[in-house]
Amino acid sequence: MSKYIVTGGNRGIGACIVEDIQTKDPAAQIIIISRQKPGDALTSKSDGITWVQADLSTQEGINATKNTFRGADVLINNAGIMIGKNPFDISDEERNLMVAINQNAVVELSLAFIAEHNKNKAKTITRRIINNASIAAQIGHPDMWYGMTKAAIVNLTKSIAKYHGADGIICNCVAPSTVSTDMMNMIPDERKKMMKAVAVTGRFAEPQEIAQTIVWLATQSPEYMNGACIDVNNTIYLR
Ligand SMILES: NC(=O)c1ccc[n+]([C@@H]2O[C@H](COP(=O)([O-])OP(=O)(O)OC[C@H]3O[C@@H](n4cnc5c(N)ncnc54)[C@H](OP(=O)(O)O)[C@@H]3O)[C@@H](O)[C@H]2O)c1
């Protein structure tokens, strides 16, 4: 039985991650971290789901999340926000909130997860960290602070893999283009139009498509794949 921590697992991409884990690993123990309670439709599917209320913009919330790490096999850093303002209009408070949730919480939780892993001196077990970044990390974004936080966690992913891979940590991230979730409400219309026009299918991603990629990285991807950023962008950014 594997134990998964899914930040932002109550709705959007995170809820689809929880559902996909349940399908692929019915005995899974899943801890959902979020401010708002997940719906009964999600939690009633399995006895293995626990919700821990935590605000990842606060130290209290980060500590509550860290307290769930004992015996955990996988940390999925999925929670994130977008303010959706250009850097001239965003307030210091809004910018700091986004940096706290999208970047600082991901760093602190990842390091705590690694520290917990390293308590096992034998280091015979592998543990996985998957970060939900964004295509904004690669092609820029009108909300520059959003793009910068996402670029930071792509870089974090590489550093974790490089400096902790030998100890059994497998860390990869995904870089999705626009996904049909509540977050779309924060994306300027101009960018939405542009992103749809440049996708080869002419549509946004469904949250299940991102979740399936993340759950593959959490459960099945080969251990030799470490430090990768998987683009899920329908040809919008080919490299
Ligand atoms: N949608 C897109 O177009 C897109 C594209 C690329 C990458 N992403 C990334 O995918 C991830 C999930 O986004 P989504 O599209 O599923 O958006 P969403 O539907 O708005 O969900 C955001 C999730 O983050 C949680 N969250 C936000 N602030 C939090 C806080 N202070 N403490 C704890 N949890 C918090 C939310 O739960 P509560 O509000 O209950 O706390 C919710 O579960 C984000 O990191 C986002 O940047 C999204």
CA 216 to chain centre: 13
pLDDT value, residue 45: 82
Ligand 1 atom closest to the Cα of residue 15 is 43
Whether 80 lines ligand 1, by a CB cut-off of 6 Å, is: yes
Tell me the C-alpha distance between 168 and 129, whole Å: 11
Q: Write out the residue range of the structural domain in which residue 204 sits.
A: 3-232
Among 52-61, 119-128, 167-176, 189-198, which is the least confidently predicted range? 119-128
Is the pLDDT assigned to residue 215 strictly greater than 80? yes
Distance 166 CA to ligand 1 centre (A): 31
- What is the 3-class SS of the chain, one letter each residue? CCEEEEECCCCHHHHHHHHHHHHHCCCCEEEEEECCCCCHHHHCCCCCEEEEECCCCCHHHHHHHHCCCCCCCEEEECCCCCCCCCCCCCCHHHHHHHHHHHHHHHHHHHHHHHHHHHCCCCCCCCEEEEEECCCHHHHCCCCHHHHHHHHHHHHHHHHHHHHHHHHCEEEEEEEECCECCHHHHHCCHHHHHHHHHHCCCCCCECHHHHHHHHHHHHHCCCCCCCCCEEEECCCCCCC
27: domain CATH number is 3.40.50.720
Q: What is the mean pLDDT of residues 84-108?
A: 98
Whether 131 lines ligand 1, by a CB cut-off of 6 Å, is: no
Is the pLDDT assigned to residue 123 strictly greater than 70? no
Q: What is the pLDDT of residues 19-60, one digit of tens each?
A: 999 999 999 999 999 999 999 999 998 899 999 999 999 999
237 assigned to some structural domain:
no
238 assigned to some structural domain:
no
142 assigned to some structural domain:
yes
Confidence of residue 176 (pLDDT cuts 50, 70, 90): very high
Q: Give, using CA atoms, the residue closest to atom 45 of ligand 1.
A: 80
Probe residue for ligand 1, chosen from 6, 7, 10, 13 as the CB with the greatest number of ligand atoms within 8 Å:
13
Q: What is the mean pLDDT of residues 117-141?
A: 90
87 assigned to some structural domain:
yes
Is the pLDDT assigned to residue 124 strictly greater than 80? no
Ligand 1 atom closest to the Cα of residue 11 is 43
Whether 73 lines ligand 1, by a CB cut-off of 6 Å, is: no
Whether 213 lines ligand 1, by a CB cut-off of 6 Å, is: no
CB atoms within 10 A of CB 222: 7
Q: What is the mean pLDDT of residues 62-90?
A: 97
Number of domains the chain is built from: 1
Q: Do 226 and 163 touch, CB atoms closer than 8 A?
A: no
Probe residue for ligand 1, chosen from 5, 6, 62, 78 as the CB with the greatest number of ligand atoms within 8 Å:
78
Distances (CA, A) of 236 to 138, 178, 179, 222, 228: 11, 10, 13, 26, 18
Confidence of residue 210 (pLDDT cuts 50, 70, 90): very high
Whether 66 lines ligand 1, by a CB cut-off of 6 Å, is: no
Whether 10 lines ligand 1, by a CB cut-off of 6 Å, is: yes
Confidence of residue 120 (pLDDT cuts 50, 70, 90): confident
Q: Give, using CA atoms, the residue closest to atom 43 of ligand 1.
A: 8
239 assigned to some structural domain:
no
Confidence of residue 190 (pLDDT cuts 50, 70, 90): confident
The per-residue b/e assignment along 89-115, b for 16 or more CB within 10 angstroms, e otherwise, is ebeeebbebbbbbbbbbbebbbebbbe
Distance 3 CA to ligand 1 centre (A): 21
pLDDT value, residue 59: 98
Whether 78 lines ligand 1, by a CB cut-off of 6 Å, is: yes
CB atoms within 10 A of CB 139: 15
124 assigned to some structural domain:
yes
pLDDT value, residue 122: 64
Distance 19 CA to ligand 1 centre (A): 16
Distance 200 CA to ligand 1 centre (A): 25
Longest dimension (CA), the chain: 53
The terminus-to-terminus CA distance of the chain in angstroms comes to 37
18 assigned to some structural domain:
yes
Q: What is the pLDDT of residues 216-228, one digit of tens each?
A: 999 999 999 999 9
143 assigned to some structural domain:
yes
pLDDT value, residue 4: 98
